[in-house]
Amino acid sequence: MDIDSYLTGYADGEGCFCVSFNRSRRHRFGWEIRPSFSISQNGDRAEVLRLFHTRFGCGAIRPDRSDRTVKYETRCINDLVERVIPHFEQHPLLSGKREDFQRFARICRMMYARDHLRPEGFQVIVRLAAQVNGGKRKYPRETIKL
């Protein structure tokens, strides 16, 4: 049994690569860009979330206020780029979610390189994020601009 391959399989079904945008005065161009990798689960399968937490060595497990589930989530851009993304490059997703992941990885690496602080970088990220399925659309893409 290879635990890393197991985690990739689990994430291919249940994981979410998401990029959300929030209105923010404190952020460049008035928008906070928030990438996250998360997995939600009924409490009775929380042990798998602990496996992700331990294996990735980052993120947090929290009860989800909106329903009776527990969520593992990593939002920290350094952890995403240095820990989460390399895992899924070494142990690749096998479903169509792989394409979401690739766009997600590109966005995270641009932010890691602080490209999102330049207008061109910001615009590329907005375009890519619109193609990442997991992202809940609080704001339609057209409303997010410089």
Residues that bind a second copy (CB under 8 A): 1-14, 44-45, 47-48, 51, 90-92, 94-97
Shortest Å distance, C-beta 133 to a second copy: 9
Report CA torsion sign: 133, 54, 106, 109: positive
d(CA 16, CA 20): 12
Shortest Å distance, C-beta 134 to a second copy: 13
Shortest Å distance, C-beta 49 to a second copy: 9
- Nearest partner of 105 among 123, 118, 94, 92, judged by Cα: 92
Q: Which of residues 24 and 42 has its CB atom nearest to a second copy in the complex?
A: 42
Q: Which of residues 1 and 68 has its CB atom nearest to a second copy in the complex?
A: 1
Q: Which of residues 24 and 64 has its CB atom nearest to a second copy in the complex?
A: 64
Bridge partners of residue 70, in order along the sequence: 41, 63
Residue 101, both tokens: 């992941």
